[in-house]
Amino acid sequence: MNTLTHKGYAARVEFDAEDRIFHGRIAGIRDIVTFHGESVKELLAAFEEAVDDYLATCEKLGQRHAAE
């Protein structure tokens, strides 16, 4: 298992050999936020987008997020 970081958030990443896809989940938050990609480039972009979307949603709902 490997770890990614973006804007203070970390994610655990695994590779599913059967489906030939990388998948991950943002760690350390109450919500379940997942992402996936078929290549490392796609995975990194999906992770960054997931974090950015999570932060935007927290802001819109007036909720504190884990990195605060």
What pLDDT sits at residue 50?
Answer: 97
Q: How confident is the model at residue 46 (pLDDT cuts 50, 70, 90)?
A: very high
Dihedral angle sign, alpha carbons of residues 53, 23, 3, 41? negative
In 3-state terms, what secondary structure has residue 29?
coil
Q: Tokens in use for 14?
A: 């695994």
Q: Are 24 and 12 in contact (CB under 8 A)?
A: yes
Provide the residue type at 64 as one letter. Answer: R
Nearest to 65 by CA among 36, 37, 33: 33
What pLDDT sits at residue 1?
Answer: 57
In whole angstroms, give the CA distance from residue 61 to residue 68: 15
Is it the case that residue 66 has pLDDT exceeding 70? no
Provide the residue type at 60 as one letter. Answer: K
**Residue range 9-43, pLDDT digits in tens:** 999 999 999 999 999 999 999 899 999 999 999 99
